[in-house]
Structure 1
């Protein structure tokens, strides 16, 4: 095999892993009832493992969407490397990044769970979740123009969240541009290399579960706490980014100890 073919083959595998991880990431972002059974938790972990890679990224992202109760087809989640080559590669064997894009919509059950209760001031509350759009950008440089075009697409098509995956770092100006549109659309940015491995599958990373609004309220009431009294997790923390945490959300972190067995702690995203 010549060097060109070898490089293309490595790129295919790399993007396949990132593609799967991206799907796993989306599937992992649903809120999970604290009262869910252990088998339910284990099932969610298996789904996450499916979703993080390009083939692995693609599967990981789609599995994540499934765990959040995003509507995804089984064959999308379990895509094989051979099918990834067939569906997303050019005749010369290189990956066509223009095809590496997908969307997912939350199920009715997910929408109900993530809709705040009606009040006199807000009789028709908007769900906290919504459609998500994921795209692998093919541009060789990533500046303000790419951010604006991506944000315009997300807003025009009424996506709740947009995830852009790049193979190069954003310019400082592009990062400032991201902050300027955050009131209009939630846009997240990942490097392809960040998704080659699903960090939540590492044995040293405990399971993180996002609490729903009601679960957070019940937690604070049970322990008679203000949310500012909870330990914190930074929004830029790798697992917080993977889960798409917003400031003010709370995650339950489940650890296993040889002496204490299985125990949980809670952190507030800041």
Structure 2
């Protein structure tokens, strides 16, 4: 089915936000992939593009085997069969993380399937509509930086506190979802202050 101009524009915007999101999570994304124009996007995927052709596969900047897939399912409401198709591909290429950019919420059975396989495959689901604007670029959203295990230990030792004593951020928070935060992690939040220059706080992900 041929996509309308409006659908292509939505996909272009969602695709751009995903690229920015992956870079912010530490994946290797090149400048031209971020700065790609709508015309370049159409040039790459064609005027008769299909969502399934937009698959992204990226590795972390620091090397290693940590990779992620981003899938754009063709069907408007994703079911179990499609989820299993994606996990089969992840398994065959030894990729343990994926993002699904969907047009509508998953079917209840598909949601259950994603939950059941979460011990083996970490699959995040974003509505296409959620990615039309990059929430991290909003003037009111401060910079977030995920602490490494070592940085987290240093922080807790320095202030002699337990992680559970830190202010909290919900794993379902839209900014936490953008950065792919997981329960048990600690994130550093850097706000610009007119008086103090920078104001730093830390949040424990719950």
Q: Could you tell me whether the CA contact under 8 Å between 1:216 and 1:250 is conserved in 2?
A: yes
Q: Distance in 1 between matches of 2:162 and 2:194?
A: 31
2:153 counterpart residue number: 217
Secondary structure of residue in 2 paired with 1:246: coil
Q: Against the structure 1 CA distance between its residues 21 and 229, is the aligned structure 2 distance closer, same or farther, given a 3 Å change threshold?
A: same
Indicate the larger mover: 181-190 or 76-85.
Answer: 76-85
Residue segments in structure 2 that go unaligned for 5+ positions in a row: none
Report the Cα offset of residue 155 of structure 1: 2.2
Report the Cα offset of residue 98 of structure 1: 2.0
Report the Cα offset of residue 225 of structure 1: 0.7
Q: Distance in 1 between matches of 2:146 and 2:100?
A: 22
Report the Cα offset of residue 173 of structure 1: 2.2
2:56 counterpart residue number: 102
1:177 counterpart residue number: 113
Q: Distance in 1 between matches of 2:181 and 2:202?
A: 14
1:21 counterpart residue number: 17
Report the Cα offset of residue 252 of structure 1: 0.5
Report the Cα offset of residue 167 of structure 1: 1.0
Q: Distance in 1 between matches of 2:192 and 2:171?
A: 24
2:8 counterpart residue number: 12
- Of 122, 126, 131, which residue of structure 2 is paired with 1:186? 122
1:248 counterpart residue number: 184
Report the Cα offset of residue 267 of structure 1: 0.6
Q: Distance in 2 between matches of 1:74 and 1:24?
A: 10
More strand by share: 2
CA RMSD, Structure 1 to Structure 2 (Å): 1.9
Q: Against the structure 1 CA distance between its residues 258 and 75, is the aligned structure 2 distance closer, same or farther, given a 3 Å change threshold?
A: closer
1:109-188 equivalent positions in 2, closer than 5 A: 110-111=62-63, 130-188=66-124
Report the Cα offset of residue 160 of structure 1: 2.9
Q: Distance in 2 between matches of 1:256 and 1:72?
A: 26
Q: Distance in 2 between matches of 1:13 and 1:157?
A: 31
Report the Cα offset of residue 254 of structure 1: 1.0
1:228-267 equivalent positions in 2, closer than 5 A: 228-267=164-203
1:57 counterpart residue number: none
Report the Cα offset of residue 182 of structure 1: 0.6
What is the total number of aligned residue pairs between the two structures? 205
Indicate the larger mover: 73-82 or 154-163.
Answer: 73-82
Deviation digits for residues 112-137 of structure 1 (CA, Å, limit 9, x no counterpart) = xxxxxxxxxxxxxxx7x701111111
TM-score by structure 2 length? 0.92
